[in-house]
Structure 1
């Protein structure tokens, strides 16, 4: 009881003290809430905030600023030579030779080699896709060392030596390497007039679409290079589809699949062989056939 009485005495003293403080605040005019005081003070602070002034950029030159004639208010004649737009020779209808004049004189002094497909004049032989025309000075071609020649034939699949001039780019792997065929005069002797025996050539289009190395020809299409070389009427998948021989036999390179709005297969040879297919092309052909039957 004594404890409860002491607590009630404390509460009464506390309430008396609170009432005295409130009366004192009221006499001083401070009975407003803190939120109201902040609302009054904050606009005053924002109004008194000084605006930061940045120094003007100093002009150290004495010359006048360069302005266009349009900003100066002058009318410009578009046909005048001073105000004519800069155009390339291609847009002007002029097709200039990108080769320098020195190289042109050098090439004209020497007998011209065979042209590529579509470049030759009437009566001249067309170049094969695995023997493209290279406009270089034969005497300046670098000769392969005996060590490099020995390493060239280590791999007959895609080749082991990269050469941006003599090497021919494969349509699928896009590796511009010298082939590993021992009797290839182009890659072994650097004879640019000879075809590359390690790259295929389509008998119909003679284009880069039919240039495949030994490894890509075997893995992606299930064909052997020896059989393709013996078949003088060999056609690339592009020409086979275009002629309607087998519409489901398509080129499965990443470039061609993207044009078809298809996802590139990546390394799909393991999946194809696990499912019993000869190559990736046979796997895709079966998938396209089943998809066509499902739509019917």
Structure 2
């Protein structure tokens, strides 16, 4: 009970000192100075800008130079969006309607030669090895699903890459007998290194299927495409240059190595 008076005395002394200090500051005029400093340092809010709506109808539209040359009253005004050179046009240079034909294989896509200008391929520039080839051609070259290189193949009998005959299929690229899509287009080197298959065997086998179709059918467990695109879709890390490790361990290709690793993970 004796502690309460001591606490009351302390509060009284504290309040008295506060009053004394305030009176001293008032006599010196410091309170006015402090308020002035606060008003100076306080940031002034800038007024909000009003949004001015622009009438777009009075502003001319930006048009492509290609569309500026078209007469709106003519039939050329109905121009569709930009299309790939591989997509079929109305008629080929020989007057053939490719849209009425059956679906072309993936290793023989259509190229409209009227819209492209590819440099002549000389024997000096061509790589005669049966690998991926060495000449990049964005028009006549067919993109491999794994290495994604649009290069002309080094096959001696390939009329598409040697004679630039767009009607012929590329002998250096595969074509899946089921999907006929870009997933089944592989060059000779990627076919051998990544999947352990030979191009000559694939040409003879008219029922050859790409890894995507084999996986979809489920006829070969754990067999799948090991390209970086497909592995990322599975949330798996790309294998990189894994052929050296696969051969050291006695596997025919990277796909065989990956298939064995997936089997062991599932058992664990």
TM-score, normalization: structure 2? Answer: 0.68
Residue equivalent to 1:207:
181
The answer as to whether partners of 2:89 and 2:112 remain within 8 angstroms in 1 is no
1:112 aligns with 2:96: yes
Measured in 2, the distance between the counterparts of 1:105 and 1:218 equals 35
Does the 8 Å contact 1:113/1:193 carry over to 2?
no
CA displacement 1:169-216 (0-9 Å, x = unmatched)? 000010011111121111111111110011011111111000001111
- Distance verdict in 2 for CA 1:270–1:40, change over 3 Å: farther
The alpha-carbon deviation at position 252 of structure 1 amounts to 0.3
- After superposition, residues 100-249 of structure 1 pair within 5 angstroms as 107=91, 110-112=94-96, 114=98, 120-121=99-100, 124-137=101-114, 141-146=117-122, 149-249=123-223
Q: 1:98 aligns with which of 81, 85, 88?
A: 81
Distance 1:239 1:105, change over 3 A: closer
Partner of 2:73: none
- Alpha-carbon contact 2:127-2:133 (below 8 Å) kept: yes
Q: Name which one, 1 or 2, has greater alpha-carbon Rg.
A: 1
Change (3 A) 1:109 1:97: farther
Counterpart-to-counterpart distance in 2, 1:135 and 1:220: 32
> What is the aligned residue count?
215
State the Cα RMSD in Å.
Answer: 3.7
Give the drift of 1:293.
2.5
**Is 2:40 the partner of 1:49?**
yes
Partner of 1:285: 259
- Quick check: 2:176–2:208 contact (8 Å CA) kept in 1? yes
Would the alpha carbon gap of residues 52 and 246 (structure 1) be closer, same or farther in structure 2, given more than 3 Å must change? closer
Residues 126, 163 of structure 1: CA spacing in aligned structure 2 closer, same or farther, 3 A cutoff? same
Tell me the residue number matched to 2:4: none
Q: Structure 1 residues 279 and 142 mapped into 2: Cα distance closer, same or farther (>3 Å)?
A: same
Cα distance in structure 2, aligned partners of 1:41 and 1:274? 87
* Structure 2: distance between partners of 1:105 and 1:267: 40
Q: TM-score, normalised by structure 1?
A: 0.62
Report if aligned partners of 1:143, 1:190 keep a CA contact under 8 Å in 2: no
For residue 99 of structure 1, report the CA deviation from its aligned partner.
5.6
Structure 1 position 229, deviation (Å)? 1.2
| Aligned residue in 2 for 1:250 | 224
Asked if the contact 1:153/1:182 (under 8 Å) is kept, the reply is: no
Q: SS where residue 220 of structure 1 aligns? A: helix
Provide structure 1 residue ranges, at least 5 long, that are not aligned to the other structure. Answer: 1-36, 57-64, 70-80, 83-94, 115-119
Task: Please report how far the alpha carbon of residue 41 of structure 1 lies from its aligned counterpart in structure 2 after TM superposition.
Answer: 9.8
Confirm or deny: 8 A CA contact 1:113 1:133 kept in the other structure.
no
Provide Cα deviations, 1:11-43, integer angstroms capped at 9, x if missing partner: xxxxxxxxxxxxxxxxxxxxxxxxxx9x97983
Distance across 1 between alignment mates of 2:234 and 2:192: 23
Q: Structure 1 residues 99, 226: CA separation in 2 closer, same or farther (over 3 Å shift)?
A: same
C-alpha separation in 2, matches of 1:67 and 1:252: 53
Q: Which runs of 5+ in 2 are unaligned?
A: 1-27, 59-77
Is residue 153–residue 181 contact of structure 1 (8 Å, CA) maintained in 2?
Answer: no
Runs of at least 4 residues off by over 6 Å: 39-42, 50-53
